[in-house]
Structures are given as C-alpha cells and as structure tokens.
Amino acid sequence: MDKKNYTIALSGLNAIDNPGPGVAVARGLKEAKSFNARLIGLSYESLEPGIYMRELFDKIYQIPYPSEGKEVLKARMTYINQQEDLDLIIPNFDAELYSFIKLENDFAKMNIKTYLPTINQFEERHKVNLPEFGKNYNIEVPASKAIFNTSELKSLESEFKYPMVIKGKFYDAYIANNMEQAKVFFNKINIKWGLPIVVQKFISGDEYNITGLGDGKGNTIAAVPMRKQYITDKGKAWGGISIDNKEMIDLTKHFISQTKWRGGFELELIKTNDGKFHLLEINPRMPAWIYLAVGVGQNIPEALTNLAMGNKVQAFEKYDIGKMFVRYAYDMIVDLDDFQKISSTGEL
C-alpha cells in the first residue's frame, strides 16, 4: 500500500544556542514510516539556520511576528496555502500559539489541519496561572506570583526569600540572589517579553523533563522522560539522557487524563531531596530536544501528524532507556543570494 503524502508547515527554525523545536520536529517528520512529508518552513528572521537546511525543508516563507495579530497571520497563511496546498500546520513557539489556536476554525475552512491544545488548556497552564493549575489538578507546584512593577519585589522577599526565580511570561528564567539582581532580571525580561513577570519560589533539586503527546480525550499516546546532562548558561539542555522513571510517567498520565490535553507538550520538573517532583513549567508544544524521543522509539511528530489527519494511532508502550542526545554547533555554507532572497521577498 502506497504511503500518503502530506505537506506540513512548521515554525521554530532558529537552531541556535537557544534553539526552537522546528528542526528537530522536521527530522522526526522526515523519518516517519507511515507517510511522506513535504515540509514548508515558517521563519521570522532571515538568519534562522533551518531556512538553509535544504535536506529538510522544501520551501521557506517568512511569517509576521505574533505581535502583529491573528488577522495578519491569517492573511499570510492564506497566501502560503494557495501556493503550497497545506495539509497541516505545526507551530513550535509559545508566543505564536495563541494566534494559531484562535485561527483553528479558519484553517479548517481551508482544509488545513492543526493539532493544538484548546484555548482553555493553553491559558490555564500559563506561568501566571500555574499555582491555581496545581491546586486544580493535584500537582505539586512551587509558589509563585505575577507582578507588574519592581516595587512589588520588596513584598515578596519575606514570602519567597532569596534566591528566587524571575521568569518571563513566555521564555527566560533567572535566579536572583538579592534585590539588585531581581530588579535587573525584571527589567531585562520586561524589555524582551513584556509584563507580567513571574516570581517563583526557588526549589533546590535535580532537573528533569518529560515530553509527551495527548489525544485530547485523556489518553497518553507518548511519554519520554529525560534527565539533563549538560545545561547552557541560558538554562537549556545541551545534552540529556532517556531514563526509566515510573513517577514521571505516572505524573504525565495524570496530567493528560485530568486536563484532556491535546497535542505535544513538555513538563519541566525539579526532584527534591525527599524524592518529590515539583512542576516548574508546562510548555504547550514539543520541546527542542524532541528528536531524543524519536531516537528512542517514540516518533512524536509522526504520531501527532497522524492524529491531526484522523488516522488511527496506537499508544507507544516502550522506549529505549539510557540513550543520550548531544547538541552541537554546525557551520553551514550558504549562498548570499539565498539570504538576500528570503530577506527581500520573504520566500525561498
């Protein structure tokens, strides 16, 4: 039986020291055994490395920044669909997901599938809402508070004590050891991501992550836990190892069954000395290290695509334990003409 052919658009092509998931997702799609994937890259900047990875992406289009709103995005995606006849869109940045979720029905009218969390699922797992999320679903979450002014930091000193974690609403997190550092990090994040800023109680322990896939009905299709082996100065995993951890798997299944999560995700966890796992963040899309899941036997990008396209998908029951991923920098030699073309026309 011939395999189906799908044209899939995906974002997150910035494979830099703080990489987006797009290149890793693309690798998983290209290795899919159940279909053939023609990939359309969606970029924001002309120097995103994924733009120039011709072995992965058949065509590249620039799309508007999320700050420009969903109607501008809709117009651009309508044009791209007219050129490419898309089957599926997989957005891979937190900041863009709101617009893509809101446009789900518009895309459906264009016969384009998505497989994203609902707007309620997306909103309730926001960092500013995480304490309430933990109470609602009986998950251990560190105390935190959203603030809008540096003057509010003073009142939190007695409640959280130093060190405390200063976080952006979408990305970035810094550990502040005193008021001066807290103010610096507040202003740094505010300039980049805006308000509110989240102040979270610092919890000491070992960092763990788990990526997974929910079918929107409470069933866990995939779950792969990982322990970070090497962390960059931005707090990103540059190396990690797949581990056997029943508590993490059980926590993930609990999260999916209670929230009825639809789509890919990543849970960021801290394991304290008493053996308890505390949920630090829920990233509402596949992580940049998603290719580790592919490499250990759970091709989550492939499974997500099949769910989106209405195909029957069996839940993964196992994965290889003790497999490592190690990220690396790689110099590509590209034509200046390509850079000028994507910069001037928005297409390549």
Residue-averaged pLDDT of the chain: 93
Decide which of 95 and 304 is more confident.
Answer: 304
How many Cβ atoms from other residues are within 10 Å of residue 179's Cβ? Answer: 15
Whether the domain at 4-115+331-345 and the domain at 143-201 fall into the same CATH topology:
no
Query: 């974690």: which residue's tokens?
Result: 165
Instruction: Tell me the domain boundaries of the chain.
Output: 4-115+331-345, 143-201
Q: Pseudo-torsion of CA 104, 107, 113, 116, nearest 10°?
A: -20
Give the residue-averaged pLDDT of 3-29.
92
Give the residue-averaged pLDDT of 172-183.
91
Q: Which CATH class is domain 4-115+331-345?
A: alpha beta
pLDDT at 42 exceeding the cut of 90: yes
CA terminus-to-terminus distance, the chain: 33
Q: Token digits for 175?
A: 């550990």
pLDDT at position 329: 82
Give the residue-averaged pLDDT of 39-43.
98
Rg (alpha carbons) of the chain, rounded to whole number: 20
Give the residue-averaged pLDDT of 320-336.
91
pLDDT at position 173: 86
**How far is it, in rounded angstroms, from Cα 209 to Cα 226?**
5
On whether the 143-201 domain is CATH 3.30.1490.20, my answer is yes
pLDDT at position 168: 87
pLDDT digits (tens, 9 = 90+) for 283-324: 999 999 999 999 999 999 999 999 999 999 999 999 999 999
For residue 163, cis peptide bond before it (omega within 30 degrees of 0) = yes
pLDDT at position 123: 94
> Of the candidates 99, 158, 148, which has an alpha carbon nearest to the alpha carbon of residue 128?
148
Query: 């003073």: which residue's tokens?
Result: 154
* Number of residues assigned to the chain: 348
* DSSP label of 50: G
H/E run at residue 6: strand 4-10
pLDDT at position 281: 93
Q: Token digits for 283?
A: 């990233």
pLDDT at position 330: 83
The answer to whether residues 6 and 272 touch, using CB atoms and an 8 Å cutoff, is no
pLDDT digits (tens, 9 = 90+) for 232-284: 766 677 789 999 999 999 999 999 999 999 999 999 999 999 989 999 999 99
Q: Token digits for 253?
A: 């299944």
Q: What percent of the chain has pLDDT over 70?
A: 99
pLDDT at position 134: 93
Q: What percent of the chain has pLDDT over 90?
A: 79
Give the residue-averaged pLDDT of 133-146.
92
Query: Comparing 5-19, 42-56, 76-90, which segment has the lowest mean pLDDT?
Result: 5-19
pLDDT at 216 exceeding the cut of 90: yes
